[in-house]
Amino acid sequence: MIVIAVISMKGGVGKTSATANIAASLAKLLGNGAVGVIDLDPQNSLHLHFGQSFQVGGGLAAASVMDTDWADEIYCSEYGVDCVPYGDVTEQEREAFEELLETQPEFIGKQLYASGFAQKRVVLIDTPPGPSVYLRQASQCADVALVVLLADGGSYATIPAMETWLEEMHIKRPELKSMYVFNQVDGMNALGQDVIEVVRLHLTSRVVRSVIHVDESVAEALAFQKPVAAYAPHSQASHDIDHVAKQLMQYVVQ
């Protein structure tokens, strides 16, 4: 099992979209059921990319607090990706779950194995932006941290903080790899192209060669509750995501 934590310092960069769509792309490559996704973000939106409609109750947060099996929370989507949603929880349940994560730093990693997800080839974990107990848990059990960036000054400015955080993480877990990917790239935007060039210069092979372009089919696919690969298989974003998924796998197995 390869575990990829999808992370960023800023919100709205496309972590959840990238998690869902890279997972769907990998499922095409590796086969139905070979890929799983875990939603570690209280926003609870990852499952919506796989056609699982709004739900009350259920999900990993409530199951964890009630000490019941995550296996019962797995949603096997028709897109070959199995999803464990965060769940729609009360404020009290969320606080109790976060307290549990504070006191048991390896909780998510242990649940991954206990839930049967260990049989998956790849598991992607979606996280909320910035440092949090969720980010700590995800990076504790991940093989790779995939940092999603926009090609703009705002995302660029977060790289030093991200690198410092990754360096600290490396002291605890030297085996943790990290990789950056640009999302929502506009090929006509000169400043954006400069940002990508400078980041590639500094981070060299830690930047995924392919970028994900800005493409309205990403937002439309979510509105139809499908991965982009299913909603618009011939779109720019779908091709980009396939390339990113393949390059990510090549990097991980190096």
Cβ proximity to ligand ADP, 184 vs 210, nearer residue: 184
Cα-Cα-Cα-Cα torsion 135, 138, 144, 148, nearest 10 degrees, comes to: -40
Binding-site partner at residue 13 among Mg ion, ligand ADP, none, CB < 5 to 8 Å by type: ligand ADP
Composition of the chain by helix, strand, coil, percent to 5: 50, 15, 35
CB neighbour class for 136 (10 Å; exposed up to 12, middle 13-18, buried from 19): middle
Site string for ligand ADP, 183-222 (x = CB under 6 A): xx---------------------------x-xx--xx--x
**Distances in whole angstroms, Cα of residue 12 to Cα of each of 49, 126, 184, 232, 234:** 16, 13, 10, 22, 25
> Can residue 14 be called a binding residue for ligand ADP (CB under 6 A)?
yes
Binding-site partner at residue 214 among Mg ion, ligand ADP, none, CB < 5 to 8 Å by type: ligand ADP
Phi, psi of 81 (to 5 degrees): -110, 130
> Can residue 127 be called a binding residue for ligand ADP (CB under 6 A)?
no
Cβ proximity to ligand ADP, 64 vs 238, nearer residue: 238
Cβ proximity to Mg ion, 32 vs 98, nearer residue: 98
Site string for ligand ADP, 135-174 (x = CB under 6 A): ----------------------------------------
**Distances in whole angstroms, Cα of residue 79 to Cα of each of 30, 56, 173, 221:** 12, 23, 33, 13
Is 39 strand, coil or helix? strand
* Residues at the contact surface with Mg ion, assessed by CB under 5 A: 15-16
One-letter identity of residue 96 = A
Task: Out of 3, 16, 137, 149, point to the residue binding ligand ADP (CB under 6 A).
Answer: 16
> Can residue 101 be called a binding residue for ligand ADP (CB under 6 A)?
no
List interacting residues with ligand ADP (CB under 6 A).
8, 11-17, 183-184, 212, 214-215, 218-219, 222, 237
